[in-house]
Amino acid sequence: MTTTTGDAPAFGLTRLGQIAVTARDLDRATAFYRDILGLRFLFRAPNLAFFDCDGVRLMLGVPKQAAFDHPSSILYFSVGDLESAYAVLAARGVTFTDRPHLVATMPDHELWMAFFTDSEGNMLALMSEVRPS
């Protein structure tokens, strides 16, 4: 997004290009994101694995410095049918911390979520914007 202030355009970030998630066991984490969550695997490099999330790259990496050795921010995966996605992932062994639940009611939709952890202990979530039928 670019806006102007006076004569010069203002800089603004608009697109997320890559997200990094800490993995202590890269093989285990790669299998979880590829085989359990069904993300499209892109490639692997030393201590790194990359996936495509509809144009945003997800990087799994073994931390080389203590500053990077911590759980990730929460990744929210948008799904059309939350109950169905929840059921499929639960059947694949995903550990959910809660069932799908209403988070907020907006003027034109409801926001529903369900939280779970990956194979490395990072918190993830499914989210769905449900429009009235």
Looking at the domain assignment, is residue 5 inside a domain?
no
Confidence at residue 105, expressed as pLDDT on a 0 to 100 scale: 93
Read off the pLDDT of residues 52-88 as tens digits, 9 standing for 90 and up.
999 999 999 999 888 888 888 899 999 999 999 999 9
Of all residues in the chain, the percent with pLDDT exceeding 90 is 77
Looking at the domain assignment, is residue 6 inside a domain?
no
Here the CATH number for the domain that contains residue 125 is: 3.10.180.10
Q: Is the pLDDT of residue 2 over 70?
A: no
User: By C-alpha distance, which of 15, 18, 23 is closest to 57?
Assistant: 18
Looking at the domain assignment, is residue 48 inside a domain?
yes
pTM: 0.79
Looking at the domain assignment, is residue 1 inside a domain?
no
Looking at the domain assignment, is residue 9 inside a domain?
no
Which range marks the domain in which residue 63 is found?
16-130
Tell me how far apart the alpha carbons of residues 22 and 16 are, in angstroms, rounded to a whole number. Answer: 18
- How many domains does one find in the chain? 1
Question: Residue 122: pLDDT band by 50, 70, 90 thresholds?
Answer: very high
